[in-house]
A and B are shown apart, each in its own frame.
Chain A
Amino acid sequence: MDKQLLSVAVVGHANTGKTSLIRTLLRDASFGQIADKAGTTRHVEGAEIRVDNNQSLVIYDTPGLEDSINLLSVLDAEPSIEYQDGIDRLLAFIKRENDFPELNQELKVLKALLSNDILFYVIDVREPILGKYRDELKILSYAAKPIIPVLNFIEAGQENIRAWQTQLARLNLHAFVSFDSVVFRFSDELKIYQKMQTLLAHREQQLDALITQRKQQWQERESAAQQLIATLLVEAAACRFKADNNEKSIGLASEQLQSAIRELEKQTLNQLLALYQFKQHDIDQYDLPIQQGQWELDLFSSDNLQEFGVKATSNFVKGAGIGVAVDLVAAGMTLGAAAVAGGVMGVLWGVKQRYYDEIHAKVKGHRYLCADDLTLQVLWMRQLSLLIALQQRGHASVAKMSLADVKIDKIELPKQWSKWLKNARQHPQWLISNKSEQPLLREKKQLLIDQVVNSLIVISHEKSEK
């Protein structure tokens, strides 16, 4: 069966963010070239978004229409009587392409106009409305293709949006969409496809499939990110180190603890970056407080408290994050479950496996150190901030962004927060590096992770409703 291709040409004036738009739609920061100069894109470059094995959306990036005034004057030089319609006018110009070497780039755009199903006319709304944009739209209208004006950079050009909308309406272009390839919103992307459905009614099913696929991919990615964050929280809370009851040993264990939690956070960070298709060198150009795969601001720095609005009430500010010493009571010692489960051997074995470490530590006068509540609170908030930043980050922007720009308002800790931490701390075996001999209880761990994920889903819904 032949593949059904739906093709889009992304056109517009120079430096309006055509390549940026495509990068963001493709989630590919390596597509094309971006620079704050006119004429950065010099090829017509395409990329395919695969809907399924039989259907695809192909998006073509085109050079900017830098000299539309000249182009229009050439196109309109011949009297209308010579041509049946605008398409004839464009074809006649294409035939004479060698006569206009200075319009070589514009010629590529005209070819793209005629060979694609629909046009995205990208407008940088930060720019003032000039007559030459009307000229550009007049040229586009010669191709007789549906046009979706895409108002780009809406965050930075708020004050001009209304004027642009009015201007487009005067040109009978009502099906415009607002988009920001820097501050990305998934709902805006969906609106583009929905507008395409309106203008290409005969392709409705194909676009329906595309929308479904994009939504599914977005949800899968978000769900996977939530699982990673939940796993990090559970494992960080379960992380513990044994120390003798003296200052030196506690200091050493504290350092080991901090290092282990940093490593866990680093792993999660890299996985989140990979999940959202950001590479390390992509993120380096942003002002995210991440360098070489690590956060610039150390998790255990007291500055974190201010950054995330946490009140310092514990030894966190002493640079410790030492936290809780686990004793038998904190370990939640009960024999009930083991006794019910089986015979004497089973009970003894179960007790040995489950409580041996704690009992041994108690007898020998050792203590276990694990991350305290504040450390975990900051860890939690950092991951939430990062997730929001990654979700709102277009793959195009070269502008700097910092977590301070991420509007997360005040993140309330989930109600079950303390219960989660207590539960995780009772199960050191949930972190492999603890080398605990206790029963793995993977399902119980997964149950806790699921609870944390559910809480993240609630936070995500609240955020999207706002």
Chain B
Amino acid sequence: MFERALAGDRRYWGLVIVLLFIIATGFITYLWQLKMGLQITGMSRDVSWGFYIAQFTYLVGIAASAVMLVLPYYLHDYKAFGRITILGEFLAVAAVSMCVMFILVDLGKPMRVFNVLLHPTPNSILFWDMMVLSGYFLLNIVIGWTVLEAEKNSAPPPSWIKPLIYLSIPWAPCIHIVTAFLYAGLPGRGFWLTAIMAPRFLVSAFASGPALLILLAMILKKFTKFDPGTKPIQTLAKIVTYCIIINVLFVLFEAFTVFYSQIPEHMRHFEYLFVGIAGFGKLVPWMWVSMIGMITASILLVIPAVRRNHSTLALACVMVVVTTWIDKGLGLITGGFVPNPFDRITEYWPTAPELLISIGVWAAGFLILTILYKIAVSIKEELG
């Protein structure tokens, strides 16, 4: 099947070359980071995780959201998703690949990463995260590839794939729950120390992932002969609507507990993010854009006419993707580290090399996605 990724029109190759160029830029910057160490990033003794870990966290959500297609299709036999389930699975593969790359570029000693396997440590959530992420990657690439190959041959998929598909359904939320547990179990980090972290991760993932899928499906429809159909997009739009509303609610629940209880160790982080402390407030405008954007998107998506019109739906989806990204990809990690354990403020902002490396990783993920989607779409086009 892979040969389909090697035959494409000029637009396809143009995209591949542009992505390769961005990847190369990121890779060269990464070599510089390998030589210089993580001092080329904006991270510090006080904010010891930054943009890389935040992107990782956001992308785990995107990966997990494939289950929003797989579950209705395989458990409820919701046939409308049959055409696009593969898009969700391949998006998960690309997203998990990016997660792994973001973890790698964040390590001070990347050449020692296999120490995690050499010295397995079940009391470390990071160990479990590595386990569930690699398992999820394998599940999705094997399932996606096998089902697509069967579809190409107009044959039913082999019988051994079905248990794997069922396994992948509970596995998907697990990757995001474990990722939330990375943060939610740390004493002394009041911003993260909340039981709603995992549920919030899940709903924001199930809003942002399907929103991204809608946008990707629209792009495919515009540039290829593959038509995902209106019905699956409309169903996905409803999933996005429910999840983004629940996400807004979860943020408000958290805000209630934090501000009504008035416990400083929990409140200070919210103060830093939403009003700033002692003149420090780099993230304040971003957080407000995120919150107002999320609420606006919720209101827009509730209106049936907005959802049915694909231009307005696309706009709402862009809002969901961007606002949830600000929430997780910018605010969540930094917010947990500011103020620091000494109740002092050290701000964080990614540096140019840090952004170049991050964009390189995003481009690598997008290249994987482009190739996988090219294969899937070519086969779907042939079958008509």
Answer whether A and B are interacting partners: no
Q: Which residues of A contact B (CB under 8 A)?
A: none
